Structure 1
Amino acid sequence: MKTLRDTWLVFQRHLVLLARSPLQIVLGVAQPVVYLALFAPLLKPALASMGAGSMADAYRIYVPGMLVALALGGGLYVGFGLLAELGAGVVERVRVTPVSRVALLLGRALRDVVTLALQAALIIVLTLPLGLAVRLQDVLLAYLLLALISLSSAATSYGLALRIGNPDTLGQVVNNLAQPLMLLSGTLLPLALAPLWLRRIADWNPFSWAVAGMREVFAGHPGDSAVLRSLAVLAVVALAALTWSARQFARAVR
């Protein structure tokens, strides 16, 4: 119970800080919106082989991948905020408080999930006039998948920040981690268009399963086996990332 209460307190604090800087949410979706407006229309001929006969069908394939890229890429960069708090002595002052070290991680990670949820809502709303049609219950299931991705990537970023401690080195590590994960998950182009050897490599990327599940959800097939597989895989990845990052917090904040 103490961990849950402390998590709620940490979450509230970071939510207040987020409310004071709403521009952060808008800037987070600026690049995805540019991709939707300028890049997605170029994909219609390529996506036609997957049954995308109209722009609405193309967006139904492209938007889920973009949301996964937003959850994965955005989460992997939150560690820089933690490094800023470390430099300002915020985390140092926490050491003298009885707050749960696990709560320090979970409160921050839940704030990141809320940020992602708001950004995803903006992207979906902006895409609706372009022809995207998705049911409310499917959006809620998509949010569950996105929450698991955000928890995984954010926890990994926080753990790396505590482990590395240097923002320059962290930037290099995150870039070298984020780009292969996103390219091998088919966020921009479906992996069905890739050569066989690349698809076999992508099978080992858990986020490629996430993209496949998200696309089935947006296609109106929430009960598809790809959705169930993606939920199971992402739950395991999120649990592993949270466990590892919680240990880093426990060691760093004693």
Structure 2
Amino acid sequence: MLHDIWLALRREQTLALRNPAWIGIGIMQPILYLVLFGPLMERIVANTPGFPPGSAWVILTPALILQLGLFSMFAGFGILADLRTGALERMRVTPVRRMALLLGKVFNAGSQLLVQALLILVIAVIFFDLRAPFGGIMLSLLIVVLLGIALASCSYALALKLKSEEAFIPLLNTILLPVLLLSGILIPITTGLAPGWLYTISRINPFTHIMDADRAAFRGDFALDALFTGCIVLVVMTALSVWWGARTFQKENA
């Protein structure tokens, strides 16, 4: 099984390395947020009560890294391309296990996400005076990679169900917009900032708890309930997403 996963992963990484520009394109939006929104965030945090502890960069940087993880929902376009060109059909007749084909794809998405997150961190440390504990940064990277694996698995499952870019695009937009707004990625949704009804709705969103855990890790607050809750939510979400993706992958490619 491990050999099959490695073969599938190597194939996906070979294809990705033929067009490495996509890694740079993926981080352009977070970099623009750092450059254009970060200085505003510094003043907002300094003059507005209700923000979580820490500097503006400790609040904003993990959010932008987590935003990269949310964009893993677009991974399904790759499998739609494989369906259209017949590449998936050719892989299906090989002796490589179906589960390995899926895991190779999601691990490739996770590895690309890790590279992008590291680039964002380096830029934030060098140019924007980000200061965070090493252990917190490592935990944050683990959080975003697991999130990327979970959402890539969901994306592949949805793409295989729909089998259409025309249906896939509006569905992603419908899902991602409320998730982004309610997770507190740009402006944290706290009791001191948000009205009660908005705060209550945000607590229903699992990504809010993951975002809180990511920010807690960056602050080095490893004893917080928010960190524990967010990590539990993430682990459960990852397990269920990979299970759903694997089941759909095997069913649709039987």
TM-score (norm: length of structure 2): 0.93
Query: Which residue of 2 is the match for residue 88 of structure 1?
Result: 85
Query: Which residue of 1 is the match for residue 225 of structure 2?
Result: 225
- 1:186 and 2:184 matched: yes
Within-5 A mapping of 1:64-143: 64-73=62-71, 75-128=72-125, 129-143=127-141
Q: Please say if residues 109 and 155 of structure 1, whose CA atoms lie closer than 8 Å, have aligned partners that are also in contact.
A: yes
Query: Which residue of 2 is the match for residue 19 of structure 1?
Result: 17
- What is the rounded CA distance, in whole Å, between the counterparts of 2:51 and 2:75 in structure 1? 37
Q: Please say if residues 214 and 227 of structure 2, whose CA atoms lie closer than 8 Å, have aligned partners that are also in contact.
A: yes
- What is the rounded CA distance, in whole Å, between the counterparts of 1:209 and 1:95 in structure 2? 38
The aligned amino acid for 1:111 is N
Q: Once the 2 structures are TM-superposed, how far is the Cα of residue 41 of structure 1 from its aligned partner?
A: 1.6
Show structure 1 runs of 5+ residues with no match.
none
- Sequence identity (%): 35
Q: Please say if residues 132 and 220 of structure 2, whose CA atoms lie closer than 8 Å, have aligned partners that are also in contact.
A: yes
Q: Higher mean Cα deviation, 43-52 or 229-238?
A: 43-52
TM-score (norm: length of structure 1): 0.93
- What is the rounded CA distance, in whole Å, between the counterparts of 1:175 and 1:104 in structure 2? 27
SS of match in other structure, 1:203: helix
- What is the rounded CA distance, in whole Å, between the counterparts of 1:98 and 1:157 in structure 2? 24
Q: Please say if residues 51 and 57 of structure 1, whose CA atoms lie closer than 8 Å, have aligned partners that are also in contact.
A: no
Query: Which residue of 2 is the match for residue 10 of structure 1?
Result: 8
- Output one character per residue of 1:144-192: Cα deviation in whole Å (capped at 9) or x when no partner: 1111211111111100100000001100001101111111100011001
Relative to structure 1, the CA distance from residue 52 to residue 97 in structure 2 (aligned partners, 3 Å threshold; closer, same or farther) is: closer
- 1:169 and 2:167 matched: yes
Query: Which residue of 1 is the match for residue 195 of structure 2?
Result: 195
Q: Once the 2 structures are TM-superposed, how far is the Cα of residue 26 of structure 1 from its aligned partner?
A: 0.5
How many aligned residue pairs are there?
249
The aligned amino acid for 2:212 is A
- Output one character per residue of 1:25-77: Cα deviation in whole Å (capped at 9) or x when no partner: 11100011011111122223332324689xx810111111111111112x100
Q: Please say if residues 52 and 58 of structure 1, whose CA atoms lie closer than 8 Å, have aligned partners that are also in contact.
A: no
The aligned amino acid for 2:167 is T
- Output one character per residue of 1:82-118: Cα deviation in whole Å (capped at 9) or x when no partner: 1011101010112212211111111110001111111
RMSD: 1.6
- What is the rounded CA distance, in whole Å, between the counterparts of 1:143 and 1:124 in structure 2? 10
Q: Please say if residues 102 and 245 of structure 2, whose CA atoms lie closer than 8 Å, have aligned partners that are also in contact.
A: yes
Q: Once the 2 structures are TM-superposed, how far is the Cα of residue 136 of structure 1 from its aligned partner?
A: 2.1
- Output one character per residue of 1:179-229: Cα deviation in whole Å (capped at 9) or x when no partner: 111111000110012211111111111110011011111112133221121
Show structure 2 runs of 5+ residues with no match.
none
- Output one character per residue of 1:232-253: Cα deviation in whole Å (capped at 9) or x when no partner: 1111011111111111111121
- Output one character per residue of 1:120-139: Cα deviation in whole Å (capped at 9) or x when no partner: 11111111131101222221
- 1:239 and 2:239 matched: yes
Within-5 A mapping of 1:25-64: 25-48=23-46, 49-50=49-50, 57-64=55-62
Q: Which runs of 4+ in 1 moved over 4 A?
A: 50-53
